[in-house]
Amino acid sequence: MRLKNKVSIVTGAAQGIGLATVLKFAREGAIVVVCDLKQDAVDAAVAQCRELGAEALGFALDVTQRAQVDAMVAAVREQYGRIDVLVNNAGITRDARLQKMTEEQFDAVIDVNLRAVFHCAQAVADTMCAQGSGVILNASSVVGIYGNFGQTNYAASKFGVIGFTKTWSRELGPKGVRVNAVAPGFIETPILSTIPDKVIEQMREKVPLRRLGLPEEIASVYAFLASDEASYVNGAVIEVAGGMTV
């Protein structure tokens, strides 16, 4: 098991890529810390991890609220004495064209997708540096590299996450802490539930593999990056997009 006893915090962990990630980490032997907004969803994810034989904790919290993030990190550190992995997975969309986008739509996406990543990373950084090891994994997107129609806020947030990743890998690398980003393409998650079937089919046609990705395929990349197998991978942005940007 590649992640045996690694204390791993995952945000946005109750559905989609986040849920697939905690389940993958559980199978790989990690001690899993499930973080999401709704208590019932958190409890369900924790139960699934425990069914796989993993030790798991759950926290219902809003990652945009620094006090809640700090309290969760303090509780994890008190219980286990260390934090080995942080997966900054929580994210939202509030799409609109530039001329139609409201300040509320812009601010909501920046708060969850960018500001909260800063909150969580800063909250664990001292612990990881003090123990001389740790991994921070940030969820970017191919949209953060190439842009996308109607996603000014989302593209900015995901491009910003890449900036975080490059900067933190330089700052924290000398302390033994690796920081990397994953940039998924079109993945079959609840975030696509409002998109018409015709548009989904057009998305498939843009991918050389002619299908959307699965959450488990992103989770597998996170698991590799979190493991010692990726011990010399730092500051990378790994596209997992089926070749759609080729």
The string of pLDDT tens digits covering residues 68-123 is 999 999 999 999 999 999 999 999 999 999 999 999 999 999 999 999 999 999 99
The string of pLDDT tens digits covering residues 133-143 is 999 999 999 99
The mean pLDDT of 225-239, rounded to a whole number, is 98
Query: DSSP class of residue 184?
Result: E
Query: Pick from 106, 85, 103, 86: which is nearest to 95 by CA?
Result: 106
Determine the pLDDT at residue 226.
Answer: 98
CB atoms within 10 A of CB 51: 11
For residue 192, pLDDT over 80 is answered with: no
Mean pLDDT of the residues in the chain: 96
Identify the domain containing residue 75 by its residue range. Answer: 7-240
The string of pLDDT tens digits covering residues 140-164 is 999 999 999 999 999 999 999 999 9
Could you confirm whether 154 is annotated as catalytic?
yes
Determine the pLDDT at residue 104.
Answer: 98
Q: What is the C-alpha to C-alpha distance for residues 179 and 171, in angstroms, rounded to an integer? A: 10
Query: Pick from 56, 54, 17, 15: which is nearest to 34 by CA?
Result: 56
246 within domain boundaries: no
CATH code, 169: 3.40.50.720
83 within domain boundaries: yes
236 within domain boundaries: yes
2 within domain boundaries: no
- Catalytic residue chosen out of the listed positions 80, 154, 222, 232: 154
The string of pLDDT tens digits covering residues 10-39 is 999 999 999 999 999 999 999 999 999 999
The mean pLDDT of 225-233, rounded to a whole number, is 98
13 within domain boundaries: yes
Number of domains in the chain: 1
1 within domain boundaries: no
**Sign of the CA dihedral running 123, 129, 132, 138:** positive
For residue 191, pLDDT over 80 is answered with: no
Burial (CB < 10 A; 0-12, 13-18, 19+), residue 42, is buried
36 within domain boundaries: yes
Contacts (Cβ under 8 Å, ≥6 apart) of 83: 7, 9, 73, 76, 77, 124, 127, 128, 134
Q: CA distances (Å), 204 to each of 139, 174, 241, in order?
A: 21, 41, 11
245 within domain boundaries: no
pTM for the full predicted model: 0.96
